[in-house]
Amino acid sequence: MAHILVAGKIPEKAEELLKDHHVIVYENEQLITEDELCELVGGVDAILSLLSTPITKRVIDAAKNVKIIANYGAGFNNIDVDYATSKGIHVTNTPLVSTDATAELTFGILLAVSRRIIEGDELCRTKGFEGWAPLFFRGTEVSGKTLGIFGFGNIGQAVAKRAKAFNMNIIYHQPRRLSTKLEQELNATYGSMDELLQTSDYITLHCPYKPELHHLFGKEEFYKMKDTAFFINAARGPLANEQELVDALKEGVIAGAALDVFEFEPKITEELKSLTNVVLTPHIGNATYETREAMSEIAAKNIIEIMAERPPISPVNQILVKN
């Protein structure tokens, strides 16, 4: 029987699948801290971590018996993967199942900021309005506009499929260009970073966070965008310089922004909260019943496979598994 630490409350599916093992669930309302992790991991064989769980070198050193860190999320920048690998510890994630939910949220907040839906809701709930009028509460259409997508993997492509239904023109940028066939299927054109910045009416980010992509979007990038353009980020907060985004929004350099992630998450730059041309959501890209249940299942199955000395379902690193 393996001892497994689950670093926070998750859907019950994981516990159901892990019922033959000894499972300890961290149930405090606050997020688990590095100090608490170091105290709890000493005798466990597996850690089921959340995106907010800091799996640092110190935690890994304290986890003397751990064979796998199964991250509950597609991302894994909360884990020192290189150090875990050097210790022979498997690291896994829950990719793919988040694709549709995140793409839907992306398009939802894009529409919300362009059509001023949040502003309209607040107006109706507070002082109200005097009725329909030709110049009242105008927003910006998406149909026929150009959507720039930075990062054209599974989620980026899923966003493109939805944009195609809105008759949008799609330009994408990433290090590797896709096949001509796939570009035609998605009605997408590959362009340079400058082309994406200068031609897009909406720009949305769908790439993982890496140190070299820190502040991918800052003052220089915002000034290259159209002053009628909108910036959307449902990927990772540190991809954008939040203060320089605030400055661009206040100065009218760009028209608006919609953010599901934040540079210093869970903290949000105060000035963003006061801007009416910004939509803010609390990192809920994959927060659907369906997706979170599927993530719970995959994380648990990764642990089950490693405990049985079989390869994991969705490995992040490569560790030799005994036969």
Write out the catalytic residue numbers: 236, 265, 283
CA 113 to CA 221: how far, in whole Å? Answer: 20
Residue carrying the six token digits 């199955």: 301
Contact 244, 269 (CB under 8 A): no
Alpha helices in 166-288 (DSSP H): 180-186, 193-199, 219-224, 242-250, 270-273
Partners of 170 in the β-ladder: 147, 188
CA 249 to CA 227: how far, in whole Å? Answer: 9
Residues 6+ apart with CB under 8 A from 215: 238, 239, 240, 241
Residues 238/243/247/250 CA torsion (nearest 10 deg): 90
Contact 271, 246 (CB under 8 A): yes
Closest Cα to residue 206, out of 243, 173, 244, 248?
A: 173
